[in-house]
Structure formats: C-alpha cells, structure tokens
Amino acid sequence: MLSEAEGYDLLRKYEIPVPEYQIVKNGEDAATAAEKMGCPVVMKIISPQIVHKSDAGGVMVGIGSKKAALGAFTRIIDNAKAYNAEAQIEGIMVEQQAEPGLELIIGGRTDPAFGKVITFGMGGTMVELMKDITLRILPVTDEEIRQMIHEINAYPLIAGYRGSKPRDEEGLVRIIQNVCRFFEENENVVEFDINPLRLYESGACAVDARVIVTDHVHKAERKEHPPVPLEYFTPRSIAVIGASQDSSKMGYAVMHNLLHFPGQLYPVNNKRPEIQGLKAYPTISAIPAPVDMAVITVPAVNVPSVVEECGAKGVSMVVIVTAGFKEMGPEGKALEDRVVQIAKGHGVRIIGPNCLGLIVPPRGIDTTYVHQSPKPGNIAFLSQSGAIINTVVDWSLAQNIGFSNVISVGNQCDLDFIDYLRYVEKDPKTKAIIMYIEQISDGKKFMEVVSEVAQSKPVIAIKSGSSRRGSAAASSHTGSLSGSYEVYMASVQEVRGHCGTHADRCIPCSTDACPPQALPPRQACGRHHKRRRLCRALL
C-alpha cells in the first residue's frame, strides 16, 4: 500500500484535487507547518501497519493553532502506540483542512475475469453501512460515468435536495474521468479508494487516498477463438469410446442415450464384439467409415492416446466426458494441456473435459447420462454445472419445455462459453439462450460476444455464488463492496438492453414483497435492489 502522501502525489498528477500537505517528525515541525499552511489543519498518522487511521485515533481535524498542533502531535503518536504497539510510525502528515462537502467514494479494483473495475458511491466512514455504490468495468465512456452518478440512491444530494444548491456534477464527471485514466495508465495499481472525495458547489477535494500496488501484474487469460464450423455440432456419425455393456459404467449410460441418434453410431470397446445391440469396434481406427464426433469416457490417463487416434481418424470434434483433469490440480492440468496440444495438432476441437457433453434434441444427439433426454425446443442452455443440467432437464420434461441445445461446458479446455454462444447465435433452432455461469476467464471477450449475440437473441445469464462477497478483510472499501458477483452483474447489465420496453422493469428482490415497477432506461429503482432488474418478457 502506498502511503497517503504518495497517493496524493499520484492523484495530483491526474488533476484530482488533494490538500497541500507536509510530513513532520516532531511536534515543533508540526507547529511550524500548521502556521505556514494556515489553520485549521488536519493531522494524520503515517504508519504502514495502520490502514484505517481513524480507528487508531490517528486523525485529528480542526487543529486551530500552533499550540494545538504541538499537542496533537503527541496525542496522535500516543493513540497509535496504544492501538498497535508494534506499528512503525514514519511521521505525521499535516494537511490543509478541506471545507465540509458531500462525501463520496471513488474506488477501483481488479477482477480476475473482467480486469479493472471502477466504483462510485456515497463515501465517508459509513460506506459499508450505506452500500450505495455502483460500478463499471473499464474502459467507460463519459455517458457511463454520468449514468453511474445518476444511479446512486443519494443522487438527489448531488442534484440539489430540498432547497440545497446543486453540487458540481460536471466537475465530478471530470474527476471520475481522471481517476479512470489514473487507474488505466498505472498497470501496477490493483486497488484503490479515494474516500472521501468532498464535492462542493464548485470543485471537489480528495481527502484520503489508499492505493494498493503490485509487482506482479496479473493479466486476464486471453485465448484464441478460431471459428467452429456449425456442422461440428451436427455430426452424421458418432463413436462412443469406452462404450460399455455394464450398466454401472458411464460408457453404458452415454451409449444408451445415444441409441436414438438417427445417424451412424459406433461403440468402441476392446473387449466385446457387441454393445447394447450394436457391433462394437476394438479401436476407433478399426471403424470402416468416417466418424465426425467421438465421445470419450475412458479413464483420464488414456485420453491423450485416444485423442491422438481420433485425430488420425479425421474426427472433427471430441466430447471428453471423463473427469480428472485441471479440476484435480497441477498434474491434471498438465494432462489436460497435453490433450489440447494433441487435438490442436490434428485440428480436432474439444468439448469438456469433465463434462456431460452435448444434447441436441432436434437431431437426436445426447452424449450425456441424464435419465431421460429433453424434448426438442427453442432454448439453448449452456451450463458450467452438470448437476444443474440434470435438474433442469428433469424439470423441463414435467413442464413440457424443450431445448435446441443443452451443453455442459466442463473445463472448457478448448471450446468455451464464447464459442458456444457463437454457435447458438447461428443455430437456426435457437431462439433464446440461457447460461449458468460459475466463473469465466476472459470477461472482456465474454462481454463483447454476449453483446453481439444479444442483438439477435435474448441472453439470460445466471451466475452462481451470489452470496460470496469480496473478501471481508479487504483493506479497501472497494475490495469489500465490489465482489466478483457485483462485477458479473455489471457485465451483464452492460450488454443488456436489446428490449427497449421491458429491459428496465424492476423485479422485486425475493425478500421484499414489493410490486415490479417501470423504470426509465438504466435508472436504479431506489426502493428495491437495483441489480435485480431483468426483462420480464424474456423470463
């Protein structure tokens, strides 16, 4: 964490107004500094171990004279020592006292999937209590900055409330622009809080800065997405490698669900000449005709050689149902990387591993082991959880709801949400898309693709883990207020809006018994949870 002084210096470079300050090491110097600066002044402890200075009695405001500054020096040092005997005290900051103003917070954090995120809201010491915060993923446009300002519940306090004069909204826009530039240009800054930023009728002043930097700049994973031909998802022939006659095996269930496939189905098993009534082959190479897709259920260690063989055979897509890869740790990850390398060498594309695979009801394809295949329909369902697929498919049968595609994405070692979105976008049977997301790796690319797909087909994203907030022990307010769930929600809000009439209806949060209400575009509904707005027409 940079010291407050270093933070101020950085902000000043970006034309963000901060108070004049001086660092002193003894009471006499504090008194001289106070006199030079002009009272009243504020004095603050400087210690790397004291993050929240007020908690340690490390901030004194309204120091009105030389003498008071002398006394404050000792008092602050004593308070800090009493708070944490081990704390290294590097000195005391004497700074100009800013006029009282509306206390706001501007913060930033780095999300593992989406990168740099900017937050804005009501600041001061009660931010966690008020939780009146909004966020955007960088970069943001001026328009988005204005929307952020408008969407906090306390916006009337900026616009002018009950006879009070409006505050400098344009000045605030410029400051947020500058803060965004500061965050984007300083790669090593991973998190920061400017809290409070005092906003006046004219101008503003940042009176605290907490900036966290790193030596190891983490870059979001960037993957190539070579286009996947549509026909890869509509194979004419499928081989099941590891097909089984033993009903306790996965290779049995997979084979069983594929028996309705109207194309060519080839069980591959090196021990039996026949599986579930079909002629079996000892290896995929032994099949006397071309094979478009292979479903792999053999143990993880055998997967590399099987994929190699599929490549040699000219298979275009493999569905690796087998688990025991990246999800198992570094060894599994290495095995998975090997599989990806081999597949790449042959131009074979991969669904999975560690997945249920793919159900295309209109074409009688079902590589999963769900109890009963779903009916054909117009919804594409892309899910990161196999258990959710099982439940949803069961439920859909009872509700008479069909699917164009159900895809269990698994570890996404090759094809991922982005490729599947591209596929269902083009798939003529798909009219709407639902995703169940646990985690994505390249959030920026995801937003870009979802926004394109959402132009032509409605996309609904369900994000798991909504109760997991940012680390409670985070050293910045921003860290604890903008957990990954909030960032995911912001990413989907960004791309929403293809439906002009319905997209801005407010759905009451499940706990509040309050009726939905129409809202102007992208405005928060003050009474309800502002992030629960969804398009009713799409539900």
The residue (of 105 and 275) whose beta carbon lies closer to ligand ADP is: 105
What's the CA gap between 452 and 2, in Å, rounded? 40
User: What values do phi and psi take at 371, rounded to 5?
Assistant: -60, -45
Residue 61 contacts which entry, ligand ADP, Mg ion, none (Cβ below 5-8 A, type-dependent) = ligand ADP
Angle at 76 between CA 74 and CA 79, to 5 degrees: 105
The residue (of 51 and 518) whose beta carbon lies closer to Mg ion is: 51
Asked if 93 touches ligand ADP (CB under 6 A), the answer is no
What's the CA gap between 53 and 59, in Å, rounded? 6
The candidate with the shortest Cα–Cα distance to 413, out of 301, 316, 337, is: 337
First to last CA, the chain: 45
Exactly one of 29, 208, 416, 427 binds Mg ion (CB under 5 A); which one? 208
Task: Compute how many residues bind ligand ADP; rule: CB under 6 A.
Answer: 16
Asked if 23 touches ligand ADP (CB under 6 A), the answer is no
Asked if 42 touches ligand ADP (CB under 6 A), the answer is yes
Least separation in angstroms between residue 176's CB and Mg ion is 18
Asked if 46 touches ligand ADP (CB under 6 A), the answer is no
The residue (of 76 and 287) whose beta carbon lies closer to ligand ADP is: 76
User: What values do phi and psi take at 341, rounded to 5?
Assistant: -60, -50
The residue (of 4 and 168) whose beta carbon lies closer to ligand ADP is: 4
304 Cβ contact list (under 8 Å, min separation 6): 335, 338, 339, 342
The residue (of 47 and 404) whose beta carbon lies closer to ligand ADP is: 47
Least separation in angstroms between residue 61's CB and ligand ADP is 5
In total, the chain counts a number of residues equal to 539
Kind and range of the H or E element at 127? helix 127-130
Long-range Cβ contact pairs of 360-366 (< 8 A, separation 24 or more): 360/233, 360/234, 360/404, 360/405, 361/402, 361/403, 361/404, 361/406, 362/404, 362/429, 363/234, 363/261, 363/262, 364/260, 364/261, 364/262, 365/235, 365/238, 365/258, 365/261, 366/257, 366/258, 366/260, 366/261
- For residue 315, give Cα distances in angstroms to 159, 265, 389: 63, 14, 26
Helix, strand, coil percent content, the chain, rounded in steps of 5: 35, 25, 40
Candidates 48-56, 147-155, 329-337, 451-459; binding stretch for ligand ADP (CB under 6 A): 48-56
Least separation in angstroms between residue 53's CB and ligand ADP is 3
The residue (of 98 and 241) whose beta carbon lies closer to ligand ADP is: 98
Residue 54 contacts which entry, ligand ADP, Mg ion, none (Cβ below 5-8 A, type-dependent) = ligand ADP
**Closest-approach residue to Mg ion (CB):** 208
Least separation in angstroms between residue 477's CB and Mg ion is 8
The residue (of 45 and 447) whose beta carbon lies closer to Mg ion is: 45
Asked if 4 touches Mg ion (CB under 5 A), the answer is no
Q: Segment 180-199, which members bind Mg ion (CB under 5 A)?
A: 195
Exactly one of 3, 22, 47, 97 binds ligand ADP (CB under 6 A); which one? 97
The pair of three-digit structure tokens given for residue 354, joined into one six-digit string: 């560690």
Residue 407 contacts which entry, Mg ion, ligand ADP, none (Cβ below 5-8 A, type-dependent) = none
Least separation in angstroms between residue 193's CB and Mg ion is 7
Asked if 53 touches ligand ADP (CB under 6 A), the answer is yes
Exactly one of 95, 191, 292, 442 binds ligand ADP (CB under 6 A); which one? 95
- Is the Cα torsion angle 380, 386, 388, 390 positive or negative in sign? positive
Whether the Cβ atoms of residue 277 and residue 265 lie closer than 8 Å to each other: no
Asked if 19 touches ligand ADP (CB under 6 A), the answer is yes
- Residue ranges of E strands in 391-528: 402-408, 432-437, 459-463, 505-506, 517-518
Candidates 31-39, 93-101, 155-163, 410-418; binding stretch for ligand ADP (CB under 6 A): 93-101
Q: Segment 181-240, which members bind ligand ADP (CB under 6 A)?
A: 196, 207-208
The residue (of 53 and 445) whose beta carbon lies closer to ligand ADP is: 53
What's the CA gap between 368 and 382, in Å, rounded? 14
Residue 429 contacts which entry, Mg ion, ligand ADP, none (Cβ below 5-8 A, type-dependent) = none
Candidates 133-141, 167-175, 206-214, 226-234; binding stretch for Mg ion (CB under 5 A): 206-214
- Which residues are at the interface with Mg ion (CB under 5 A)? 195, 208
Which residues of the shown chain bind ligand ADP in the complex (CB under 6 A)? Answer: 19, 42, 44, 52-54, 59, 61, 95, 97-98, 124-125, 196, 207-208
